[in-house]
Structure formats: structure tokens, C-alpha cells
Structure 1
Amino acid sequence: MAGFQTEVLSLEGWEHFYSGKVRDLYIPSGASFAETDRVLVVASDRISAYDFVLSTEIPDKGKVLTQLSLWWFEQLSDFANHVISTEVPAEVAGRAMVCKKLEMYPIECIARGYLTGSGLVEYKQSRTVCDLPLPDGLVDGSKLTPALFTPSAKAEVGEHDENISFAATVERVGQEVAEALREQTVELYMQAEKIARERGIILADTKVEFGADPATGQLTLGDEVLTPDSSRFWDSADYAPGKAQASFDKQFVRDWLTSSESGWDKNSGEEPPALPEEIVQKTRARYIEAYERLTGQKFSA
């Protein structure tokens, strides 16, 4: 991920191990990653767009992602997850979880209940999504019944994930695991879609990640789940197939970066400019709105 600096925190009992686009991993002090069975996952306020982590952060974004994930883990208790505890150092309270260290599968597990995004691009070209044939006549926002499992292969930091077929998933993880990933992903989507719909929110698609619990081999949810960073949420009151839907995520950021106002060309290879305060505040408000609409709870920073 091009050109970002990670703030390494000094946390009692933990030492920094790895940083991704948004999350930082810490392991117990004095332990090696190979020997530990737990990690501290800290969600930062960093935001990424167009393969760059931006120089501007969105205040409280990491807390929204963490607290919304925790809420969803509770709603989806049928699915084993990696959370051990929310008793974390005070410096990262509200934005961190102590989690099992899983043996993660190299697959981004995506469920699509509506046609949009990269799926729409492929559909327009070939009437397929991840090699799955679809009928003619679908438009941006068309509902897909049943929901599709459209995996992608995890890319290196800074690279695009690559949409792959189910057969390619089998090649990477084996038949049994691939079928389990497909079944669990679609079932999770169906349960979450119903919960969201009851709150006036359409869950268009979502990305989840699974790993094996080293102690039991059980398929276990890792990373975040059903947040505005990993899912496409639409307001059901505004939903209208045939056009792009407004989503509860970083669309304000993407729109500003590609506007003439920013002066930035996403194909230039140059780092994006800093975000204006108005865009920062609108994006923060959108994330918080998603949290409050879904959970029915007031967000507390």
C-alpha cells in the first residue's frame, strides 16, 4: 500500500508485529509470532482509496469498525469468531480486540446479493460474475437470487485482490475447505441481510475472512465483519435499481479525490492530496450513521 506511515504504539504487555491498510497487529511482549496463540488487533483511523492509504485520517473510524464488528459477532453467534477479549490497554480502548491467532485462508470470501461494483463490470462484459452465468437484463443494483459466492485471491499490500472462480478457490485451499467457505459465507450473508433489512438497510455485498483455529481446526471468522469498510450498505428508502446507490462508506472520499477540486489524477501514480475538513467530517458522520442505524445504539467515542 503506497506510502503510509504507521504509528507504532507503546502498549504495556504488547509489541508491534505488523501493519495493514487499516489494522495493526501486536503480539505479547517477549513472544514470537510462531509461538503465540493470540494477537491484539488495533483498528486505526486510517482510510484507503485507489490503492493508497491517505495522509488524512477519519477520527473515530477505527472505533466504529471495531464496535460494529463486535456487535455483529454477537448477532451471528452461529459462526465461530476469533474474539477472545475486549480487555485491552487503555490507549486503544474501543478500537482493539484480543483475538485468537488463526491459520488464515488466502481467500477473500465475498457474498453478493445485488449486482454492482466489479461484479457489474464483469457482467456487462460477459454476463457472468466470477465465471457464474447470470441472466440478461440485469442493471446496477439488481437483486441476485440466490446470493452469489464470488471469492477473490488475497493480494499483497498495495495490489488489487483478484476475482477468481470457485474452481480456482479449490486449487488454493482444497475441495472440502472451499465448499465450507462458500456455505458459511452465503449463510452469514443471508442472516446479516435479514438483520440489516429490518433496520432499513440493504446489505448489497460483504467480504469476510476465515481461518482455521489451530487448536481445533474449526472454521473461524477473523478480521472485521460487516462494517462499512468490508460491506456495501444502502439505505432501503433510496434504493432504485438502474443507478449507482449511495452507500454508507468512504464514497465522499472517492468522489472528492476524483473531482476536479482535488486536482489529483488517480492514474498518475502520485500520492493523493490531503482531504478537506468537510470531507473528513462527512465521512466520519456516514460511518457513525451506519453504526447507529444498524445497532440501534448511540455511538460513543
Structure 2
Amino acid sequence: MTSSQADPSPEPLPGYAHVYSGKVRDLYAPLDASGAPRDDQLLLVASDRLSAFDFILDSPIPDKGAVLTQLSLWWFEQLADVVPNHVVSTDVPPQVAGRAVLVRRLSMLPVECVARAYLTGGGLREYVTDGHVSGVPLPGGLVDGSRLPEPVFTPSTKAPVGEHDQPMPYADVVAAVGERTAERARDLTVAILKRGNEIAADRGILIADTKVEFGLEGDSLVLADEVLTPDSSRFWPADQWEPGHTQPSFDKEFVREWLTSPGSGWDKASGQAPPKLPDDVVERTRAKYVEAYERLTGRTFAP
């Protein structure tokens, strides 16, 4: 199933109308007393679906939705003095308890807000080509895993489901949302990554980069969707950090590495959907997500 197909059969939830299904999350609108969908709130449900290379994989990761939701809620608390968030309540239908939150409905920015503290992935590929990432010039001599002198804002387009996000120069962000909003989004994205790394460092984790989403409520920016999770960020064990090669990780990079290995038999350039993940890859991926949650929060994950 490709990401352009998303989830064709969202679970029915009494009292809610299905609005949209993305790669990982399903959105529902609460129904008012007359049975009409409310326009001020949404129920954000995190599934166990996993996306990689713009495909939704046929192999869900057990408890992934709950890990993402619980970790985001923990981070929202840690970031409360940095930026307001969209959470209204965790009082949700029992069938989605632990993996859903009721949130404010916002006017979402048409930009993927990305900040990088270390160079890897798509940012590294850009850098190797022209020494820039999203138009931001970087020092020479950097390699895979290099720590940047300061975290940088490297936004990308918010492509339609099934298509690739593209690097976006800051001037294009200004053109899309206005100078004041662009500046605030840039500063908040970098501040979130900096705070995240300050906290994660005490837990033996480096956050290489992260993607966040903001919505507007009046003139104010509000942090939405998820924050500093294994789906939206790269987490590296600090004691194994060694620039010059791909770093071990606590995130879905593990799945990407398997998919592009000879063992998967899949050709990324073929246009065909990736194969089903082996049971051991599913189990190890779940373990990585849970370990990231437990190391960061200091809590035992309870499904």
C-alpha cells in the first residue's frame, strides 16, 4: 500500500466523524449535540502504521501509536515554557485510549519546519552537492554525523501525501507565511531542538534533527501534531556517536537501513512497494521505540 492510498478503512468511533487519514495519523471531528462535526476541535489518533520512503509499510509496529502519543505528551510538558501546544484533553474514546488526544483545530502552516543539530540524511546529501542545506551555507569538511556549530533551520515543502518534500530556502518560507510568522517558526523550531538536546543529553541520547508542525491560532503559533518522537526525529545513542558513517539509532532509520539492504531484496528506485518486514525487524523496531520512550521519560512504557 503506498502512502498515496493512506488508510482506506479508518476505525469507526461513535460520536466522531472521520476527517482525514495520513501516513500515520487519523483525524476525527467530535460531533456536537445536533450530530454535526465541530469546527474547533479534532481527535488526533496515532496508528501503528509505519511509513518509509513515502510508502506506508504493510507491517505495523505494535504499540507504536501509543509510544508516539505518550512521548509527545511528555515533551509538550517539557516545552510548555517555550511554545504553547494544541492539546485540549486526553479524555478520549476507550478504543483509542493511550494513543489519541483531543486537540484544538488550527490553521496549519504549509511548511515542514526542520532543525538540524547534526549533519546526516537528506541534509548530508544536499551538503555534499553544494555545501548548503535548504539554502543555509555550512562549514567545509563536514561528514556524516558531524555536529553543526549551531542548530540550523532547514525547512522543506509540505508535499501532498505520496510525494517527496523538497528543501525550501528561508525566503520561500517568508513568501508563504509572511516575515513575522517565518521568523517565529524558525526561532521556535531551533529552540525546540536545543531544549530537546539539553534534556536528552542527560539520558544519553543525541537528537540529530527534528521536524515539527505549527498552526496559527489568531496571530499566535501553536505547536501541533507530534514533537521529538522517533518518527519525527533522529535519536542517536550518545556513547556510540562517531562522525564519518551512519550512526546507530533509536528511530525508524533502522527500518530504512533494512529496506535498502540486500536482505530485503527491494530496489528503492523500482517504484514498487517495499516488502513486508520480517518479524524480527518488527520486534526490534518496537523495542527501539520503547527504549527511546523509557530512556527519555524515565518511565516504564505500559501498553
Asked if TM exceeds 0.5, the reply is: yes
Unaligned runs of 5+ in 2: none
Q: Which amino acid aligns with 2:119?
A: L
Q: Which residue of 2 aligns with 1:73?
A: 76
**Paired-residue identity, %:** 57
Q: Does 1:19 align with 2:24?
A: no
2:55 corresponding residue in structure 1: 52
Cα distance change of structure 1 residues 184 and 252 upon mapping to structure 2, 3 Å threshold: closer
Alignment of 1:171 with 2:175, yes or no, is: yes
Deviation of 1:261 (Å): 2.5
Local SS of the residue matching 1:219: strand
SS of corresponding position for 2:197: helix
Distance between the aligned counterparts of 1:244 and 1:278, measured in 2? 21
- Deviation track 1:167-213 (CA, whole Å, cap 9, x = no partner) reads 01111111111011111111111111100111110011111010111
1:249 matched to which residue of 2?
A: 251
How many angstroms apart in 2 are the aligned matches of 1:51 and 1:28? 29
Equivalent residue in structure 2 for 1:90, among 91, 94, 100: 94
TM-score (norm 1): 0.96
Q: Secondary structure at the match of 1:162?
A: coil
Moved more, 257-266 or 150-159: 257-266
Aligned length: 297
Q: Pairwise mapping of residues 214-225 of structure 1 onto structure 2 (< 5 A)?
A: 216-225=218-227
Deviation at 1:137, TM superposition (A): 1.1
Provide the secondary structure at the position in 2 that maps to 1:267.
helix
1:98 CA displacement: 0.1
Please list the CA deviations of residues 154-178 of structure 1 after superposition, one character each: whole Å capped at 9, or x if unmatched: 0000011111111011111111110
4+ aligned runs moved over 4 Å, structure 1: none
**What does 1:135-284 align with in structure 2 at a 5 Å threshold?**
135-213=139-217, 216-284=218-286
2:166 alignment partner AA: E
- Give the alignment partner of residue 36 of structure 2, picking from 31, 54, 57: 31
1:68/1:162 CA distance change after superposition, 3 Å: same
- The residue aligned with 2:43 is 40
Of 10-19 and 63-72, the range deviating more from structure 2: 10-19
Equivalent-residue separation in structure 1 for 2:158 and 2:262 (angstroms):
32
CA distance in 1 between counterparts of 2:118 and 2:267 reads 30
Distance in 2 between residues matched to 1:173 and 1:257, nearest whole Å: 36
Evaluate the alpha carbon distance shift between residue 132 and residue 5 of structure 1 in structure 2; reply closer, same or farther with a 3 A threshold.
closer
* Distance in 2, Cα, partners of 1:151 & 1:7: 32
CA RMSD of aligned residues (A): 1.2
Shift of 1:138: 1.1
Contact 2:39–2:105 at 8 Å: present in 1 too? yes
- Matched residue SS, 1:157: coil
Unaligned runs of 5+ in 1: none
CA contact (8 A) 2:119 2:143 kept: yes
Could you tell me how far apart the structure 2 residues matched to 1:143 and 1:130 are?
17
Pairing 1:104–2:108 present? yes
On the 8 A contact 2:112/2:213 being kept in 1, the answer is yes
Does the CA-based 8 Å contact 1:4-1:55 persist in structure 2?
no
Q: Match of 1:120?
A: 124
Quick one: structure 1 residues 261 and 243, their matched pair in 2 at CA, closer, same or farther if it must change by over 3 Å? Answer: closer
Give the partner amino acid of 1:94.
G
Deviation at 1:4, TM superposition (A): 4.6
| Structure 1 position 7, deviation (Å) | 3.4
Q: Distance in 1 between matches of 2:103 and 2:56?
A: 25
Identify if the C-alpha distance between structure 1 residues 3 and 212 changes in structure 2 by more than 3 Å, giving closer, same or farther.
closer
